[in-house]
Amino acid sequence: MALLYTQEQREFIRMVQEFADQTLTPEVVSKYDHLGQCPVELFKPAFDMGLHMLEIPEEYGGAGLPYSTTAMVFSKLAEYDAGYAITLVSTFVALRSVMLAGSADQARRFADIIEPGAFAAFALSESDAGTDAGSVKSTATRDGDDYILTGEKTFITNGSIANVYVGIFRTADTGNKGLSAFMIERSREGISVGAHEDKMGLRLSDTSTVNFDHVRVPASNRLGDEGAGFKVAMNSLNLSRAFVATLAAGIMQRALDESVSYARIRSQFKRPIIRFEAVQEMLADMAIALETSQVLIHNTMTMMDQGNLVRKEGAMTKTYVTDALQRVVTDAVQVFGGYGVSKAYPVEKLMRDSKVFQIFEGTNQIQRVTIANELDKEYAGKEVGR
């Protein structure tokens, strides 16, 4: 591989692999995939390992690992089940909002909730506010030293299992500039959870509607200034999009592993199908897609570790890798032939898990708009030609 791992990174990956071999067996994953349930009890050993604290700074009791290392850890976990991995990663989506826009006190309070073994959720999307995040209608009304939060959030990963939310609410009727971000403890009165989404893939991940019915939070729970919510959300998502790609790379690795192994033992016309040029081309393209994706992810993570918000780079990474993922899992199913669409073989599930990666954290269509807009800014005033 093009990436050169440090000894520490190799050790973390080895530990995660040993953990997943014992906890996320094919039988366990298949059971909960069939049920469409998030197996909360299966996260206790992950908590015991501290996988929920990897990004939390050391001063708040976490491991304080760089993004480039946590990316490798969660990519390995996604090889076993991306739904399980994204349940842990979603806590860090909320965390990044707190770390980017919140105070030291807010960061400590967030970490104190998570440390015993808990989840967090980032609550932005609504029924009419997905790609168009500026259309958020849920409101936060100032009442003395408090805010009253009212509205419904949809498609919230970890929605029903979160102990703390970071939510985006409207504090003024001024478009994107009228949104504010809040840290909201689950223990507050007025929070209820609606139906869990019966999804095509990532079925071990909880995705639910969360209702806020006149939920009172102190003004000290607001992250950043009033009106800064859209910026808080976008800056956090810029970083999170690269982590979406990280999980996608884990699925790609699993698809390649399964496909090569199967092609070596499956025979037709008295020879293994890996000897057929058509199959070799598919396997080679899968390997190329995985390798280039991993290098792109690592470069973006390194930029993030250096403090860059990677608006363009995060969008490029998410778009390229998740589009490549669709081709890889499609080829994996093709290598398996008729068995590829059978639930008795793993690639059927990998294909189901993959599609949503082009949709969440901002559709790949809107990512291309973001990339083009950033290019427009970069080239403003530049001379054309040489």
3-state secondary structure string across 44-63:
HHHHHHCHHHCCCCHHHCCC
159 with 271, same domain: the answer is no
Q: 115 with 47: CB under 8 angstroms?
A: no
Q: How many domains in the chain?
A: 3
> Hey, what's the torsion of the CAs at 256, 261, 266, 267, to 10 degrees?
100
List the CATH number of the domain containing 286. 1.20.140.10
pLDDT tens-place string over residues 229-276: 999 999 999 889 999 999 999 999 999 999 999 999 999 999 999 999
Question: How far is Cα 226 from Cα 67, in angstroms, rounded to an integer?
Answer: 29
Residues of the chain with pLDDT under 50: none
152 with 104, same domain: the answer is no
Residue 219, C-beta contacts closer than 8 angstroms, at least 6 positions apart: 142, 145, 146, 147
Q: 223 with 98: CB under 8 angstroms?
A: yes
Model pTM score: 0.95
**Of 152, 361, 374, 383, catalytic:** 361
Question: How far is Cα 133 from Cα 221, in angstroms, rounded to an integer?
Answer: 21
pLDDT at 1: 58
264 with 207, same domain: the answer is no
Query: What are 51's two structure tokens?
Result: 């996988």
- Environment class of residue 305 by beta-carbon count within 10 Å: exposed (0-12), middle (13-18) or buried (19+)? middle
Backbone angles phi, psi at 298, to 5 degrees: -60, -40
128 with 161, same domain: the answer is yes
* Angle CA 268–274–278, to nearest 5: 90
pLDDT at 191: 98
Which H helix or E strand runs over 109? helix 104-114
pLDDT at 2: 64
247 with 282, same domain: the answer is yes
**Within-domain flag for 385:** no
User: Which one of 230, 265, 291 terminates a domain?
Assistant: 230
Question: How far is Cα 30 from Cα 285, in angstroms, rounded to an integer?
Answer: 28
141 with 170, same domain: the answer is yes
100 with 131, same domain: the answer is no
Question: How far is Cα 347 from Cα 353, in angstroms, rounded to an integer?
Answer: 10
242 with 365, same domain: the answer is yes
pLDDT tens-place string over residues 11-68: 989 999 999 999 999 999 999 999 999 999 999 999 999 999 999 999 999 999 999 9
| Active-site residue flag, 361 | yes
The single-letter code of the amino acid at 111 is: A
pLDDT at 386: 60
pLDDT at 66: 94
pLDDT at 3: 72
194 with 302, same domain: the answer is no
Domain that holds residue 250: 237-379
Facing residues of 267 across strands? 272
Q: Three-class SS of residue 27?
A: helix
